[in-house]
Amino acid sequence: MPPKFSKPAAPAPAPVSCVAAASTKLQRLCPDYEDDIDHNLRLIEKNAEERPLPDYLKKVQQDRVSEAARASLVGWMDKFVQDHDLADGTLHHAVAYVDRVLSVRALTTDSGYELRLLAAAAIFVAAKYEDRKAVWKLKADQIARYGKFAAGKEVLDMEREMVEVLGYQLGGPTAHTFLGHFMRYAEGEDKTKILPLATRLVDQSLLNYTCLRILPSVVAASAIFLARRTLNPLDVLAWNTELTELTGYNCSDMTACVLNMFFFSRSLIYSPPS
């Protein structure tokens, strides 16, 4: 079977960046900006100020927070986002904010209250970043009740402190960002089957502390590889030249991430969403 990403009728000039100028849609929609958008996303994801320390739990938090406790917090954040029907991308940005703050500021207690308050404030900020309507949809007092905090003022105080620590840099690309970027021209089963499973995989990666060592674009590309490997027939390659051009990664670039994601997400791989 041919690849499901569309190819041009005639050869296109060699692209400047690793994004494929290979699709007829890509050539038709904003061709002057596609390479610049991709280039900027990849520059920002490598910016040290936009990335958490991969060993912050030990180096900064001095083991006040375990990997299991962090995973439990992410699970609580995921439930928060779902319970309030917040915009796609909110969870990924919120988890990134928490990891970045904890990479530079040690918790003052190990009770879990401060950590959960930080997570709630991160969701508050991420929700407003992703959707301006969240300003009316989500209120500090409402968050305080949900998180069992003393008052909405605690949420607002933590919000101010958090954005200052982040240097007001709130828009760095996440694995969710790159997944949408890579799959923006998906059609047919790539959109109805591959994308939903890949989305679940990048969401699952948030629970995995070791994924902090991996660039978000690699996590997204690895999720697409695993989703295609899981759902496509055996005679369809999980990866091909066009996907390499689109993502900038070949199979060897993703090996470590794919293996890590596979072992951490086996329940999704063996029982993919229908």
Full domain range(s) for residue 203: 24-45+173-270
Residue 4 lies in a domain: no
> What are the residue ranges in the chain where pLDDT is below 50?
1-28
Report how many domains make up the chain: 2
Which of 47, 65, 94, 67 minimizes the C-alpha distance to 203? 94
Residue 63: the pLDDT is 85
Buried b (16+ CB within 10 A) or exposed e, 207-217: bbbebbebbbb
What DSSP designation does 23 have? Answer: S
Residue 8: the pLDDT is 37
Same domain, 39 and 63: no
Q: Give the CATH number of the domain where residue 212 resides.
A: 1.10.472.10
Same domain, 67 and 127: yes
Same domain, 38 and 68: no
pTM for the complete prediction?
Answer: 0.85
Place of tokens 């490598």: 46
Same domain, 136 and 188: no
Side-chain-side CA neighbours of residue 200 (13 Å)? 19
Buried b (16+ CB within 10 A) or exposed e, 60-99: bbeebbeeeebeebbebbbebbeebebbebbbbbbbbbbb
Residue 190: the pLDDT is 85
Residue 126 lies in a domain: yes
Domain boundary (120, 149, 165) is at: 165
Same domain, 213 and 244: yes
Residue 55 lies in a domain: yes
Residue 31: the pLDDT is 59
Domain boundary (146, 165, 184) is at: 165
- Digit-coded pLDDT (tens) for 9-68: 433 333 333 333 344 444 445 556 778 888 999 999 999 888 999 999 999 999 889 999
Place of tokens 């917040």: 86
Same domain, 183 and 265: yes
Which of 18, 38, 44, 268 minimizes the C-alpha distance to 174? 44
Residue 32: the pLDDT is 64
